[in-house]
Each structure stands twice: as structure tokens, then as C-alpha cells.
Structure 1
Amino acid sequence: MNDQEARDWLQRIRALPDQGPVRIMNVCGGHERSISLAGLRDALPPAIELIPGPGCPVCVCPEEDVYRAIRLALETDAILVAFGDMLRVPVNVPRGEPRSLEQARAAGADVRPIASPAEAARLALARPERPVIFFAAGFETTMAPVAALLAEGLPGNLFLLLSGRLTWPAVAMLLDSETPGFDALIAPGHVSTVMGPEEWQFVPERHGLPTAVAGFGPESLLAAIHSVLRQRLEQQCFLDNCYPEVVRPGGNPTARALLTQTLGVTDANWRGIGVISDSGFVLREAFAAHDARRQFALAEKPERRRTGEMPPGCDCARVVLGRIYPDQCRLYGKGCNPRSPIGPCMVSDEGACRIWWRHGIHSGVPSEA
């Protein structure tokens, strides 16, 4: 982090003419973590609102996908692996049943956390006598190494339960709604590194909103905030790349080619939000033999009527959409905290509720984290 550069950008922001309330959405959970860690909300002029957006893949992973992963772990002889945060995501089940992969492991299932797709392949090679199911949830930056794994060739006993999502369609859905709720956009640097900043060109071109790509240091975030404020003042909306040392035109050609080669795109459900057009990754037909949805049949349970919904009282979907702040959720700090999360936004390090809780916004409730 360049402290002096961050201070310089902050001074420039404070020197801008007052333009009244401005609501700036930061899409990425990593951005929200950096904003909270650096105390940027308190440092910026009070008229500037920074709104957390739909940039947490754990938060939007469909409840039915997590439930399927739990059932696969409990009802087959497979080793089920997933990124660490996914093990704690709760689902809607009757009291007494495992409501997360972590609880399924406590009930005897072989569930293991991993940090990278390569770990799943190594485990499958080390245990050829057992099927290994990789529950792969994430956005483009996570799906790129999954695509590389597919292109290299999977061990015969490795299967994917894919729950990948594209980031930009969620923002497009918000902007196409009657009340998008924000006046400018800070686009995610890591996604732009893979897919290219051009993915966000539709925001200024179609919707007339100032847009800037930012990295994860305060200096890059403040540069992006300054950019969108200047765009508003000068009434010239465009896409500004404030992370040029990493984000290049066209993104990463190799990663994009691998994604196109191995994965297709389809309409997909986002937890608590609903189906968003062309927002989900699916395995191409050439990889059907490794598709856990096809290779492991599970009997449908008609009593599962709450599929896709948040737990009762949980406002996580409204937090993800930027409709409310985390501490405005009805359950925030009232039974829902990082030790005992009720909604997915309190599970992940990129979930806005967990980030706010960890940085001291406890709504008067003593911290149990």
C-alpha cells in the first residue's frame, strides 16, 4: 500500500466541488474488505456513499447447489472437496439435519477444504479407488483455473459440481431495473484482469454512469472514486482503468481462451435474487463424463419447496443487491454472526455482513467473533 499516494488522492477528492449525495457501488467483495480495513467511509466526505454490491460468490451460490453438495457427501462414497468458505454456507433444512458441508462432515461425510483446483486433482490421483467431487463455486477468476484443470485433463475419478457465475450480468440486471440504487460504479480489478476492462463498457455507454476499474489498495480505490466523481462533475461518462499495472486491454487471452474452450454460458440462479440471463458457467458436452450432476443421480425431494431462498428473516439478498447496508438486516448481530452464520453474507471473507462485523459494526451487540 502506498500511504502517501492514498493521502494525495483523498486530498484531491476533498478538493472537488460539492455535488450533493453520490452513491458509488463497489462490486467486489475484495474491494469492500479493503474499504472497511482502510476506514475509507469515515475518511471520505459524508456525501459520498460506498455501497457493497453482488461481488461475493459464496453469498450468491444457489442454495440448491449447496444442498446437492451436502447430499452427495452424505449419500455417496465420494470425497467432496470445496473452497473453505463453502463448508459453512447454511441451507434450508428441517432442524436436526446437517445444514452445511461442515455439519455433514461432523455427521460422517468425507468433506475436505481445499485452496486451489490443483489440490482436487492431486487428491484424485492419490485416491484412485474413490470418486472425488470438486464443488467449484466462484466468479471468473476462480473459473479460469478450473478451466485450465479441465483443459489439462482430469483424472478419471474427479468430478465437478460446477456453480460458477459471471459478474457483469448481475450489475446489468440491477441497471436494467427501475431503481438501480447507485450513481457510479467501481468495477472489480481481478475480474477485469482475466476478462478485460471492456466487459464494463456497457455501464457508461448504455446507462450513462461513470465507471472505473480499481485494484485493492486504498490508493487505487481512491483514484477510482476520484475518477467517477470527476466524470459526474464534467458530465463525461466513460470507463477509466485505475489499475493499469495489472488490468490490460483484452484481459488475459490465455485464460479467456481456456474458459471458452471448456465452459459454456447459460441462464443461472443467484441465491435470493433469482435467475439472471447468461450469468452461469456450465461444463461443455466434451466434459460430461466429469459432470457430477450427470454422474451421481439423486432422488428429487418434493418437500424442498424453499429452494433458492434465504433463511427466514435473512436479508442477505437485499445486502448483495445494494438495497440495504449489512447492519440493516433484521438478523445482523441478532443470532447471525461469524461464529453462527444464518445467512451466507456472514460466512465468507468477501461477504459484506462478515466484513462489517469484523471491522466493528456490531449494532450495539457484543462481538462473539
Structure 2
Amino acid sequence: MSNSALDSNKQAKYWLQRIHELDLQQPVRIMNVCGGHERAITMAGLRSALPKAVELIPGPGCPVCICPEEDIYEAIQISLQENVILVAFGDMLRVPVNVHHGEVRTLDQAKGAGADIRPIASPQEAIDIARQHPQTTVVFFAAGFETTMAPVAAMIAQGAPDNLCLLLSGRLTWPAVAMLLESGSPGFDCLVAPGHVATVMGAEEWTFVVKQYSLPTAVAGFYSESLLAAFYSVLRQKIEQRLFLDNCYPELVQQQGNPSARKQLQQVFNIIDANWRGIGMIPASGYALNDQYAAHDARQRYPDYRDMARKRAGQMPPGCDCAKVVLGKIYPDQCRLYGKACTPRNPVGPCMVSDEGACRIWWAGGVRQSRSKIA
């Protein structure tokens, strides 16, 4: 084992000990917004290591899970009906939509039906494919949060090929948390904010949780010692009622974030009201290309499918409780379909598709049966 790994283990044990030394008089619910956090928590077994009074709740931190059904349907139809190459991040290819039996319900199935659909891992791959096929329109179905949208914005700002256009389904993270807090029953007492988003947007973006809603908040990275430090921070804040925004990921997160990335996001995108699958419309939570870059907007090149797609707009599939999982209302294994009709091999809901989906993470962590109790 390397010295860095030994140091990490030592720090993790230190923070875990500090947490167990806290005087927790009542249960405390901590929401972790990020799917990467949930994966790290589950794979490291942090839930079982923490005091029983501490409840860790996965939140709306999976962009694949909340991508609106109408956007996926629109991508499917464009790929099937138009002479295009459609590219998307790999997880998006398996997300199902609600259609009649026998109809194409995923991008994977559209590919099987003859559409030219290619999984990619980065915006640069979309540029490369567009340059390799200059006579064909390449549609980049771009779903993701701020961390993903920043390189997408850079791709456009720096001069994307003329034959590359975006079918955009980007979202901002903080408005979903604000929506939960505004509901009056958010279901959590403390917040651990996503370190990757804060790396781009800055830790300051999460100060509203402390100032407006008086909730202990900390930004965390994606390894056990950072997460445990954040848990300790918010628990101590809760006990002492001394609230502040704590940055437990200082090696990458600055107060102002990444100025260059923020500038490109502002340059390329407008902020719009946006639909979140299973949640509904959240004000000022989506990205859209501004008029300067309209030539790269797939919805302007192929406007007919937008109206068709809206007719297909819906919530989660029948019996699927992904919306409650995303909102932190239930745990994944409390979904009625979890481990029964819905498995990674045959996902019914989007939370079982992505590596950042809570259901898929819990399955990978060894939870294979449903409790089937809806909170």
C-alpha cells in the first residue's frame, strides 16, 4: 500500500472517530446531492460505519436519472428519422421512455433499428466524429450538470465544426436543492454539496443553504476522508448551532470556482426554466444555447421532433419509484420494482441505468432485494 493510501486511511479513521465522539442526542439526516458521493459512500461502506443516529440520504445528483423523457424521445426520433450521426454519453443509450409495446424505447434500441448512434466519453470525441464526417450532421445529445456543461460550452465557444449541433439537456444542480428546501419538508437536516460542481461554480454557490435555510452545509470530494470530514462538520454545526459553509475539498474547490469555465458557460448558454424527470419544472435550472450559437442548436435544425416529443412527455414508468429516490423520499431498495422487474440488466427506471443512479449504485454495493415499503 502506498504512503498516500496509508495517509488517506489514517485520515478517514480520524474523522470517523471524531464523528463517534459527537454527542448526537437525536437522529440527523444528511443529504448528499452527488451520485459520485453516493457511489463512494456505498462502496466504502460508510453507512454501516457511522453512528446509528446518522442517516445518509442520496439526492438528485444523477443527470441521467432526471433527464426529461421528452428529450430522450426527441433524440430517438431524430436518430431514426434524419440522416444524422447521433452521439451521447454512454449511459444515455439505455435510459427507457414510456412508449407502446413494440416501439423503440431506448437509444440502444434505435441503434439496433438502424440509426447511427455512437457512445462517447467526452465532447472532444463529438468534435472528432464531426470532422471525420464533414458531409453528415452530427447531433450531440448532451445531458449533464455544470461539470459536464462546462466542457460542452468550451467546445462551442472555441469553434465547433459547422456540422456539429447540440440537443441540449443540461441542468444546474443548486435549483433542485432549493426546490426541496422551498417545499417545506425537504427530508434532510444537513447538506453535503457536490465537489465537482463546486470546482466549476465555486463553493459560494451553496451559501444560500446556510443563509436562507439555516442548514449546516459542507462541500466534499469523492473519497472517504473528505466525505467523513464533511459529515463531521455538518454534524458539529448541527449540535453547536454554529452554521457556516465548510469547504472540505480545498485542494480543488475555490470560493469563486473556475473563472474561465464560468465565463464560457455564461457566454454560450442562457439559463431557462427546465423540466426534471419525475420532479417537474424547476425555475432557472436548465441550459439553452443563446442566439449567438443558434446555428449549433439541433432543436432549430429539426424543429418537428420537438412537438412530437412533447406529446410523449411523462413521468416515470408505471410502478417505478425513481422520482421518490431522486427526491430523497425513499431509499432505492424501497422501490416496488427494485430487484424484481427492475435490475441493471433490464432497467425499468433511469436510476437503475447510470453509474451515478442510486439504484444502480446500491445494486452494485450488494443490495439485491426490495423492502417494498414506500415512505
Report the TM range for the smaller structure's normalisation: over 0.9
2:153/2:264 contact within 8 Å kept: yes
| Separation (CA, whole Å) in 2 of partners of 1:300 and 1:282 | 14
Q: Does 1:233 align with 2:233?
A: no
User: Are 2:339 and 1:345 equivalent residues in the alignment?
Assistant: no
Please state if 1:201 is matched with 2:207: yes
One-letter code aligned to 1:133: V
Q: Does 1:258 align with 2:264?
A: yes
SS in 1 for 2:33: strand
2:318 to 312, 316, 322: 312
Q: Which residue does 2:334 correspond to in 1? A: 328
Give the distance between the partners of 2:10 and 2:63, measured in 1 at CA: 33
Distance 1:78 1:306, change over 3 A: closer
Tell me which residue corresponds to 2:42: 36
Aligned: 1:211 with 2:217: yes
In structure 1, what is the Cα distance between the partners aligned to 2:151 and 2:19? 38
Separation in 2, partners of 1:129, 1:143? 26
For the structure 1 residues 273 and 120, does the alpha-carbon distance in structure 2 shift closer, same or farther, using more than 3 Å as the test?
same
Give the direction of change, closer, same or farther, for the CA distance of 1:363–1:118 in structure 2 (3 Å limit). same
Residue in 1 that maps onto 2:169 = 163
- What is the CA–CA distance in structure 2 between the aligned matches of 1:85 and 1:158, rounded to whole Å? 21
Partner of 1:21: 27
> Of the candidates 235, 244, 252, which is equivalent to residue 250 of structure 2?
244
Counterpart for residue 143 of structure 1:
149
Equivalent residue letter for 1:255 = A
- C-alpha distance 277-327 of structure 1, shift in aligned 2 (>3 A): same
Aligned to 1:95: 101
Shift of 1:306: 5.2
| 1:314-355 deviation per Cα after TM superposition (whole angstroms, max 9, x unaligned) | 110110000000001111111101011000000000000000
Equivalent pair of 2:31/2:192 in contact (CA under 8 Å): yes
What's the offset of the Cα at 1:301? 6.8
The amino acid across from 1:122 in the alignment is D
Query: Larger deviation: 356-365 or 199-208?
Result: 356-365
Paired residue for 2:112? 106
Cα deviations by residue, 1:97-145 (Å, 9 ceiling, x for unpaired): 1100000001110000000001101110110111100000000000000
TM-score, structure 1 normalization: 0.97
Conservation of the 8 A alpha-carbon contact between 2:32 and 2:57: yes
Residue in 1 aligned with 2:135?
129
Alignment partner of 1:159: what SS?
Answer: strand
Decide which of 51, 69, 80 is 1:45's aligned counterpart: 51
Question: Is 2:245 the counterpart of 1:220?
Answer: no
Whether the 8 Å contact between 2:167 and 2:298 is mirrored in structure 1 is yes
Query: What is the CA-CA distance between 1:73 and the residue it aligns to?
Result: 0.5
Q: Report SS of the residue matched to 1:334.
A: coil
**Deviant stretches of 4+, over 3 Å:** 299-306
Aligned equivalents of 1:296, 1:98: Cα separation in 2: 19
> Would the alpha carbon gap of residues 300 and 203 (structure 1) be closer, same or farther in structure 2, given more than 3 Å must change?
closer
Q: In structure 2, what is the Cα distance between the partners aligned to 1:300 and 1:221? A: 41
Whole-angstrom distance in 2 between the partners of 1:130 and 1:59:
30
Q: Which residue of 1 aligns with 2:296?
A: 290
Q: Show structure 2 runs of 5+ residues with no match.
A: none
- Partner Cα distance (1:92, 1:304) in 2: 12
Query: Could you tell me how far apart the structure 1 residues matched to 2:216 and 2:310 are?
Result: 43
Contact 2:333 2:370 (8 Å CA) reproduced: no
Q: Which AA in structure 2 matches 1:91?
A: V
For residue 133 of structure 1, give the secondary structure of its aligned residue in structure 2: strand
Structure 1 residue runs without a partner (length 5+): none
1:248 partner letter: Q
User: What's the % identity of the aligned pairs?
Assistant: 67
Deviation per CA, 1:167-203: give whole Å up to 9, x if none.
Answer: 0000000000021100000000000000000000000
Indicate how the Cα distance of structure 1 residues 156 and 74 shifts in structure 2: closer, same or farther if over 3 A, else same: same
Alignment check: 8 A CA contact 2:335 2:370 kept: no
Give the Å deviation of 1:304.
6.6
C-alpha distance 138-301 of structure 1, shift in aligned 2 (>3 A): closer
In the alignment, what sits opposite 1:184?
190
